[in-house]
Structure 1
């Protein structure tokens, strides 16, 4: 990465009237959150699932709630506890600072289900969680389109065995098992209403922005939802990613092959100098 790339990125941000922040799992690493596809791997974080040879795609799956609901909620209950306890790193605040300078402010599009943008102070009305949120629940059998807050659910988890202790959460309408309102693998049961309303608000905002800049952070190509969205906004793209920084040189795209906090911090400082 050259200083010229940082200067060019800062110049784009100075000209922009709206900032779109797109983010994958890589943005959370500097907050201490695990990256399941990183060097440690998923089974290093959940050794009980490793011993049983259960891959991420099998536990993050609606079938897991039918086959072994206590194990499924052991996994998701642990994640819910973790995300509630995690403090977002300083880069989130720096992103807010960059967006606040623009006429149309900033919006967030993320595949993360952890709620870290809300926790960092971003407006709930300006976040699109395209894969849903662990902080919301739905009926596992889809008896209703209702989605409700998980705030009252306090999971107790046997971390060693990845098992939920105590009472399973239930749908208040029919009494069947509740599950996270998250788009899982092989998921035909996800209730997308909340996310679709978020997406509609995002589209309305983007239609009003004339000079859009997208800062994409930590979005990989294994599940390319965020990368595809970033590349098709019609605006300029700044990609912050240490492992997969590839861009299309024929388009208005820049790559900063850095970790999330380092890349955001350097970009913020370059904007202050600009």
Structure 2
């Protein structure tokens, strides 16, 4: 075992609870596409490469008003992909390890894919919302509802959705995912806020938690910042990232590797 893994294992053994902080890299070992940079996104979605559209452009809420078939083509494909994806074994290892600790386990993630819930985690704080929940595009109410019954018919040649598109059960207008997109001023945050409030209370009660951060990059640093904040008092941070493992001021353990291979060795 390397020195980094040995130090990380010691932090886990000395902890009374486990906080998992996860970014997009957590899902790569499950077969989910790596959207890092335009090239990675276009490899996953060749039709968008032909159109010259990047992830940041497609993840713009304005498309739901200006071109809803394009918007729902993108999010409808992702919804189907996430439903069909089986979480890799690293999720199980984290869950079992966390459940064995006196304080249990919590998750903070920027991912909208629902993989942690699919793996059996109960307490998941989804900072950017969830693709498995919807809201009204027109804002007729502040209601957030499940997308469990939604199925989007997709033309995979053009990556455009065919009508009928998901609609609001109250007003009949267009629905959109309850996801915080780029430049999004209409996202309804209350579902995520309730999750975050529960996590905050748990953290206050379990200050001996070890933080394992996985696959969170610097481009959207939401998860990295939260993990650093949560571990600031103890320095019990384990950062697993094959490209950007560095920790400011050395307050923790950096492991430059992927999620699954590291968790198998560590947990």
TM-score (norm 2): 0.96
- After superposition, the C-alpha distances for 1:100-155 in whole angstroms (9 at most, x for unaligned) are 221111100000000000001111xx100000000000001211110000011011
Residue 190 of structure 1 pairs with residue 190 of structure 2? no
The match for 1:159 among 139, 156, 159 is: 156
Q: Is the 8 A contact 1:141 1:189 kept in 2?
A: no
The residue aligned with 2:59 is: 60
- After superposition, the C-alpha distances for 1:193-248 in whole angstroms (9 at most, x for unaligned) are 10000000000000000312100000000000000101111341000000111112
- After superposition, the C-alpha distances for 1:37-95 in whole angstroms (9 at most, x for unaligned) are 16852122222222222221121011011111011000000000000000000000000
The residue aligned with 1:246 is: 246
Residue 171 of structure 1 pairs with residue 164 of structure 2? no
Q: Is the 8 A contact 1:47 1:160 kept in 2?
A: no
* Worse-superposed segment, 10-19 or 26-35: 10-19
Structure 2 CA distance, aligned partners of 1:5 and 1:90? 22
The residue aligned with 2:200 is: 203
The residue aligned with 1:31 is: 30
Computed over aligned residues only, the root mean square deviation of the Cα atoms, in angstroms, reads 1.3
Ranges in structure 2 where 5+ consecutive residues have no aligned partner: none
Structure 1 CA distance, aligned partners of 2:161 and 2:250? 51
Q: Is the 8 A contact 2:38 2:54 kept in 1?
A: no
TM-score (norm 1): 0.93
Q: Is the 8 A contact 2:38 2:55 kept in 1?
A: no
Q: Is the 8 A contact 2:15 2:208 kept in 1?
A: yes
Structure 1 CA distance, aligned partners of 2:223 and 2:263? 18
Query: Structure 1's 174 and 39: CA in aligned 2 closer, same or farther, altered over 3 A?
Result: closer
Residue 98 of structure 1 pairs with residue 97 of structure 2? yes
State the Cα distance separating 1:14 from its structure 2 match: 1.0
Ranges in structure 1 where 5+ consecutive residues have no aligned partner: 269-274
SS in 1 for 2:200: helix
Structure 2 CA distance, aligned partners of 1:97 and 1:12? 17
Q: Is the 8 A contact 1:133 1:180 kept in 2?
A: yes
Structure 1 CA distance, aligned partners of 2:207 and 2:177? 37
User: May I ask how many residue pairs the two structures share in their alignment?
Assistant: 264
Structure 1 CA distance, aligned partners of 2:115 and 2:154? 21
Runs of 4+ deviating beyond 3 Å: none
Query: Structure 1's 188 and 39: CA in aligned 2 closer, same or farther, altered over 3 A?
Result: closer
The residue aligned with 1:148 is: 145
Structure 1 CA distance, aligned partners of 2:241 and 2:96? 21
Structure 2 CA distance, aligned partners of 1:266 and 1:27? 16
